[in-house]
Amino acid sequence: MATWMYQLNQRSWAPKRFRIEIWEGERWSWPVRTGLPKGASLQAGDTIVFFYAPSGGNDPGFYGWAVVLEWYEENRDLYFRAAAPTDHLKMHPWWDDSAQAVADAIRGKMKQRTIWNVPDRLVPELRNGITRWLGGNP
């Protein structure tokens, strides 16, 4: 099972739209146009975290989690279902120095694309950071 980070653009799809439209338990489909490593494939059961970069707006951070339901390589469509704690995170996104450091480590030198595979070594840091944020221990 892999973990992925999907980066949203604040100018193209504002955080307020994410807050209005994405709810835990709902099924969604989004395109993945750039960033999937050659030969890589999203698999049903993989997890994906949604991230708004600080550029292009004033509301960056990690906004939620989802489970990958389906991936269609031919049209590059990702189907997912948002899971807890998305409803909380979208109202109070994880954004502090730790969140910035994790996002930067995941993205590496390439900051402008849609999706990244989260290296296994960073998955615990990502999960623990969100858990600390939700628990009020930034």
Each residue's pLDDT tens digit, 68-88: 999 998 888 999 999 999 999
Supply the pTM of this predicted model.
0.93
Spatial strand order of the sheet with 3-8 comes to 27-31, 77-83, 61-72, 47-52, 3-8, 115-117
Residue extents of the structural domains in the chain:
3-134
For each of the chain's 138 residues, which pLDDT tens digit applies? 899 999 999 998 999 999 999 999 999 999 888 778 777 889 999 999 999 998 888 999 999 999 999 999 888 899 999 999 999 999 999 999 999 999 999 999 888 888 999 999 999 999 999 999 998 866
Each residue's pLDDT tens digit, 108-127: 988 888 899 999 999 999 99
Class of domain 3-134: alpha beta
Q: What's the per-residue H, E or C state across 1-54?
A: CCEEEEEECCCCCCHHHHHHHCCCCCEEEEECCCCCCCCCCCCCCCEEEEEECC
